[in-house]
Structure 1
Amino acid sequence: MFKDCWALAVDAQEATSQSCQVSFKLKKKMSGAATGCEAEGDRVDLAEQSLLNKMIRRCLVRNRNQVEVLQADPTSPLYSVRTFEELRLKPELLKGVYEMGFNRPSRIQENALPMMLAQPAQNLIAQSQSGTGKTAAFSLAMLSHVNTANKWTQCLCIAPTYELALQIGQVIEQMGKFLPDVKLAYAVRGNRMVRGVKLQEHIVIGTPGTVLDWCTKYKLIDPKRITMFVLDEADVMIATQGHRDQSIRIQRQLSNECQMLLFSATFEDSVWTFAEQLVPDPNIIRLKRDEETLDTIKQFYVLCGDKEEKFTALCDLYGSLTVAQAMIFCHTRRMAAWLAASLTEEGHQVALLSGEMTVEQRAAVIERFRSGKEKVLVTTNVCSRGIDVEQVTLVVNFDLPVNMDGSADNETYLHRIGRTGRFGKRGFAVNMVDSKRSMDIINQIEMHFNRKIKKLDTGNSEEMETLLN
C-alpha cells in the first residue's frame, strides 16, 4: 500500500517529487535549551510532550473519565458501538485494525466513530487525551472515506509539527496495510514537489504551512475536492507561531460540504474559540472532568535543612514504604543529575529524564521505567504531564513547583502528584520543604486545593507506619 515513509536513516533533504518515496529522519530537538534554563527548570513544550506520549503508548490506556456527548441535532438518536464489526468496515480495514491490537473500541471511539462514519457526514469537535485511541479513530475514518476510483486527494489531515504528522502517517500505514490501492503523501518540509501537477494520493498528512503551500502556491491539491478535513492537536496548534492563521486559511478554501473533524487534549477558552471558527454545526465529545484526582492520593510534607537532609529523608521514606515505582521531581537538570547519581550509589535502580535529551531518548527512558527495568524515575518538568504508569505508588517533589513569580505552580503540582493514585489505586505524594519560602508554597497549595497536607517525620518509624498505612 504505502511506500516506506518511516525509514529513519535518510535525511529529509533528500526527499524528491510526487508521492511518498521519501525517508525522513526525526529531528533531534532540544527542549529547554534557552539561556537560564538551569535556573528556571525545563520548560514543557506542548508539541514535544504530545509526541513523547504518542511514542511511548503502544496500546490504549484505561481511562476512568466519562465521555459527554453534545449533538448538533439533539433530536437525533445517540448511536455508539461496542465492537468494530458494528461499523461495517471493509474486511481489509477491519483486519488492519485487529492486527494493530485494537480488540474493541475505546470509550471515546465508541461515540466518535459512528459520527465520523455517518452518512450524511457530520462535523465533530472532540476532546481526547493521548492513549485514548483518537489517532486510530480518525485514521480509520479517513481510510473508510477514500474512494480509490478517484485519483485525487480526498482526505486532508494537519498536525502542528513535522514529527507529529509522521506519527499519524505511521498509524495510517499500519492500519491500511491491507488496502494496497489507498495512497498516502506527506506534506512536510523536505518533500519537494513539482508545481502544478495534481497529487493522485488519496490522503495527505502534513503541517499547516506546507499544506497551505500545496493548496495555494503549488496547486498540488484542489481544496474544493477535499471531502474530509482533520485537524489534530488543536491546543498545540494555537500555541505554535503562525499555525492558527494557516489552519484557518486552509479551512476557508474547503467546500461547505467537507466534513470537519477537530481534536484537542484540552478545551480552554482559546481552543473553543479556535474550534468554533473552523467547525460549523459540530457534534461535541468531551471528557467529564475527573474529580477524584486527589481523593486517592495521601499528601505529606517533610521539613529538611538542605539537599543532603532531603536525600536522607528520601532514603528513610523509601525504606519505610513498600514502593512499586517512584517518580521524583526536581527543578533543575543539575539537581536531577546529582540526585540520580546519589540514589544509584545507594543501590537503587534509577532512570534520569531531563530536557537536554532528545524526544527519542526520553521515550526510551520512560519505556524502560514503564516496563519496570528501573524502579525510580528522577525527572524535571518534562515528565509532569500525561505519563501514566500504573505501578507508580510514590511521587516526591524534591523541589516544589513554582512559577516565574516564585509562587506555587498549582497546575504543575497537580500534574506531578497525579502520576500516582492512577486507575483508582492509592498513592502517596511527599513534598520536601527546606525553607520558610518552601513552607509558604505548601500553604498556597493547601489553600488552592482546599486540602490539608500533613507533616511527616521520616525519622520516626512509628509515625511513618501510622500515617502511610
Structure 2
Amino acid sequence: CRRTRGQSPWMSKKRVHLYRWILPLCCHGGGFLTSVWLFPNVGNQAPETSENEVWRKDGDKVDLAEQSLLNKIIRRSLVRNRNQVEVLQRDPSSPLYSVKTFEELRLKPELLKGVYNMGFNRPSRIQENALPMMLAQPPQNLIAQSQSGTGKTAAFSLAMLSHVNTANKWTQCLCIVPTYELALQIGQVIEQMGKFCPDVKMAYAIRGNRMERGTKLQEQIVIGTPGTVLDWCTKYRHIDPKKISMFVLDEADVMIATQGHRDQSIRIHRMLTKDCQMLLFSATFEDSVWRFAEQVVPDPNIIRLKREEETLDTIKQFYVLCKEKEDKFTALCDLYGCLTIAQAMIFCHTRKMASWLTTNLIKEGHQVALLSGEMTVEQRAAVIERYRNGKEKVLVTTNVCSRGIDVEQVSLVVNFDLPMDMDGNADNETYLHRIGRTGRFGKRGFAVNMVDSKHSMDIINQIEMHFNRRIKKLDMSNLDEIEFLQS
C-alpha cells in the first residue's frame, strides 16, 4: 500500500479515522492477490464525496452513501434474513438453478479455499440464486436487490475472481461504487477471497491515483468511483473499455442519488461492448432505480426481495396522545416502567430533540446511547456495537439509524417524533424501516407513536391507510391495559 503524501486541508478526521480502521484489514502478509494505490496521493484536489444529503425539514440529514458504509462496517458477518427471494428469469423456459453448497459451483480450488477461509460455510439466500446466474456460460446479466449483510458483495467478488483470465494483463472486470470508502470495503472482500490467487491483481480507480497518460493498467480487476473510472477510460486511457467483459454497478440507489454519478455511470456503460456481462445491485428498488437499471442492464435476470411488510405481522402498533415533549417524555418513562423490555430504540426528528431526550433519560437512571448525523461513521459503528452487546439498553437516534440495523433483543420502538416527508405528509417507507427494528427474526415487538397535535394524528391516519392496518390508541393512565399487552 502506498502512503498518502501531502494531505490536503479537506482530509477530515472522518477519513483519517477510517484509514486507521481499514489499514490493518488491508495490509495482509504473504503472497496473494495484491492491490495498488490503496491510499491516494491526494495533492490539493477536492474529495470525490457524496452530495446526496437528504434533509427532512429541520431534521437530521440522511446521507445514503454514509448509511451504506455504516451497514457494511457493522455487518461483518451475514445477518439472518427472513425475506423471501423472488427470481424473474430472462428466459422463463430455462431451468432455475440454485445451489446449497459452494462445491456445486465448481470453483477453482484456490477460490474455494478463499471462500472457506473467510468463514462462509454455505451460500446465503441471495447467493443460492445469484451465483449460478453470475457464473453461467454464456454470461447472463443480472439485476439484484440485496441489502448489506446478505452476502451480495462476496457473491459478485467471487464472480469477478472466477471470471479473470490471469494470462491477460489488462482490466477485465470493472466495479463502480458511489464513494471512495465503499470502494475500499469491496476491495477488502476481494483481497480476502482472492488470498490464494497470487496472479490476480486489483487496482483502485479513485481520485488522486495518478499514472502517466496512456499507460495501460495490467490489473485484471478495477474498483472505483464513476468520475475517476470515466477519466481512466477516456482522458487518460488507462483502461480499454472494449476489453472489459464483466461490469458491476453496486449501490445503484445511492449512485443515482449522488450528483453526477448517474450520468457518469451511463457514459461508462455506453463504452462497453454488447456482450459484456452486466451486474447491478441495489438495496431498494424505487421507480427511479428501476428506470436506471433498465437503461444499464439489457435482458436481465432479476432477483428481488419480497416486500418487508411481512415484519408488521409480529409488531403491535399503538399511539399515545400527548400535549408537548414533556408529556411525551412522561409517557415514555411510564411505558418503559410497565413493559418488560430487553432493549428499546427511540426515534427523534432532530439532533437537538435527540440530545434533549438522551440527557433526560440518563437523569432518570436509564442506560442510554445517542446516535445522530454529526458523528463519524466509525463513531456510529462503535455506538451500535455497544448497543448490540447490551452495554446500553436504550438507543436514541435520528433517521440515520432508521434502516439496516438488526439487533435481536429490540422489543420496543418509539417514534418520539413521527416520520414526515418534505411536504409534511407521512413518510411511510421510513416508518416501516423504523418499526422494523423490532419484531425481528419472527419475535414479537411493540411500536409506540407519540401524537402531540392534530397534524400528528393525520400522519397516523395516513400510515394506517397506507399499510391497511389499524394503530390502536394506548391509554397511559390504564396500567392494567399496558401490562396486558405482553400477555
TM-score range, shorter chain: over 0.9
CA distance in 1, matches of 2:325, 2:48: 33
In structure 1, runs of 5+ residues without a counterpart are 13-17
Equivalent position of 1:23 in the other structure:
39
Residue number among 19, 33, 38 corresponding to 1:8 in the alignment: 19
> 2:458 — aligned with what?
440
Change (3 A) 1:329 1:9: closer
Deviation at 1:439, TM superposition (A): 2.4
Paired residue secondary structure (1:220): coil
Cα offset, 1:309, TM superposition: 2.0
1:316 and 1:459 in contact (8 A); partners too: no
Q: Structure 1 pair 376/202, CA: closer, same or farther in 2 (3 Å)?
A: same
Pairs within 5 Å for 1:394-405 = 394-405=412-423
Is the contact between residue 48 and residue 180 of structure 2 (CA under 8 Å) also seen in structure 1?
Answer: no
The one of 364, 386, 391 equivalent to 1:368 is 386
Is the Cα contact below 8 Å between 1:109 and 1:134 reproduced in 2?
yes
Does the C-alpha gap of structure 1 residues 11 and 59 become closer, same or farther in structure 2, counting only changes over 3 Å? closer
Aligned to 2:262: 244
**2:252 is equivalent to residue 234 of structure 1:** yes
Structure 2 CA distance for aligned equivalents of residues 241 and 22 of structure 1: 24
Equivalent of 2:60 in 32, 42, 66: 42
Partner deviation per Cα, 1:281-337 (whole Å, 9 max, x = no partner): 211111122342211111111122222222121111111111111100011111101
Amino acid at match of 1:54: K
Q: 1:287 maps to what in 2?
A: 305
Contact kept in structure 1, 2:2 and 2:37, CA below 8 Å: yes
Call closer, same or farther: CA 1:156–1:382 in 2, change over 3 Å.
same
CA distance in structure 2 between the aligned counterparts of 1:24 and 1:448, rounded to whole angstroms = 48
Cα distance in 2 between the residues matched to 1:412 and 1:150: 47
| Whole-angstrom distance in 1 between the partners of 2:49 and 2:401 | 16
SS of 2:304 mapped into structure 1: strand
2:235 to 217, 220, 227: 217
The one-letter code of the counterpart of 2:187 is: G
CA offsets 1:219-244 (integer angstroms, 9 cap, x no match): 10111111111111111111111111
Which of 122, 141, 147 is the equivalent residue of 1:123?
A: 141
Distance 1:10 1:265, change over 3 A: closer
| TM-superposed deviation, 1:149 | 1.3
Cα RMSD (Å) of the superposition? 2.7
Matches within 5 A, 1:88-127: 88-127=106-145
Alignment partner of 1:161 out of 179, 182, 187: 179
Structure 1 residue 257: Cα displacement: 2.0
CA contact (8 A) 1:116 1:122 kept: yes
Question: How has the CA–CA distance of structure 1 residues 359 and 73 changed in structure 2, closer, same or farther, with 3 Å as cutoff?
Answer: same
Q: For residues 92-122 of structure 1, give each alpha carbon's deviation from its aligned partner in whole angstroms, at most 9, with x where no partner exists.
A: 2112211222111011100110111111111
Moved more, 18-27 or 342-351: 18-27
Q: Is the 8 A contact 1:65 1:287 kept in 2?
A: yes
Structure 2 CA distance for aligned equivalents of residues 84 and 32 of structure 1? 38
Percent identity of equivalent pairs: 81
Instruction: Indicate whether 1:329 and 2:347 are aligned.
Output: yes
**Matched position secondary structure for 2:171:** coil
Equivalent in 383, 392, 395 of residue 410 of structure 2: 392
Q: Distance in 2 between matches of 1:417 and 1:115?
A: 34
For normalisation by structure 1, the TM-score amounts to: 0.92
- What is the CA distance between 1:30 and its match in structure 2? 10
* One-letter amino acid matched to 1:324: A
Mapped to 1, the partners of 2:323 and 2:83 lie a distance apart of 41
Between stretches 458-467 and 177-186, larger displacement belongs to 458-467
8 Å Cα contact 1:4/1:20 also seen in 2: no
Moved more, 226-235 or 88-97: 88-97
What code does the residue aligned with 1:142 have?
M
> Which segments of 5 or more consecutive residues in structure 2 lack a partner in the other structure?
5-15, 24-33
Report whether the alignment pairs 1:192 with 2:210: yes
Q: Which residue does the alignment assign to 2:78?
A: 60
Q: Which residue of 1 aligns with 2:273?
A: 255
Farther-moved stretch of structure 1 (317-326 vs 3-12): 3-12
Contact 2:50 2:179 in 1 (8 A): no
The 1-side partners of 2:109 and 2:126 are apart by 23
1:76 to 68, 90, 94: 94
Q: Deviations over 1:228-284 (max 9, x none)?
A: 111111111111111111111111111222111111112222222211221122111
User: Residue 42 of structure 1 contacts residue 333 of structure 1 at CA under 8 Å; is this kept in 2?
Assistant: yes
> In 2, distance between residues paired with 1:138 and 1:371?
31
Change in 2 beyond 3 A, CA 1:30/1:176: closer
Q: Which runs of 4+ in 1 moved over 3 A?
A: 2-7, 9-12, 24-34
- Provide the rounded CA distance (Å) in 2 between the counterparts of 1:62 and 1:316: 33
Q: 1:21, CA displacement in angstroms? A: 4.0
* Counterpart for residue 430 of structure 2: 412
Change over 3 Å in CA distance of 1:264–1:460 after alignment to 2: same
1:43-68, Cα deviation, whole Å (9 max, x unpaired): 22221211111111011111112112
1:402–1:74 Cα change, 3 Å? closer
Q: Distance in 1 between matches of 2:327 and 2:256?
A: 43
Measure, in 2, the Cα distance between the counterparts of 1:454 and 1:41: 27
SS in 1 for 2:234: helix
Residue of structure 2 in register with 1:357 after alignment:
375
CA deviation after TM superposition for structure 1 residue 10, in Å:
11
Distance 1:155 1:303 in 2: 56
The answer to whether the 8 A contact 1:129-1:264 is kept is: yes
SS of corresponding position for 2:413: strand
Classify the secondary structure of the residue corresponding to 1:104. Answer: coil
CA deviations 1:352-409 (Å, max 9, x no partner) are 0001111121111112212222111100111112222111110001111222222322
DSSP-derived class of the 2:140 partner: coil
Match of 2:9 in 1: none
1:465 and 1:22 map into 2 onto residues whose CA distance is 56
Q: For the structure 1 residues 31 and 291, does the alpha-carbon distance in structure 2 shift closer, same or farther, using more than 3 Å as the test?
A: same
Matched pairs, number: 461
Please give the secondary structure, in 1, of the residue aligned with 2:374.
Answer: coil
Residues 229 and 259, structure 1, Cα contact 8 Å, conserved in 2: yes
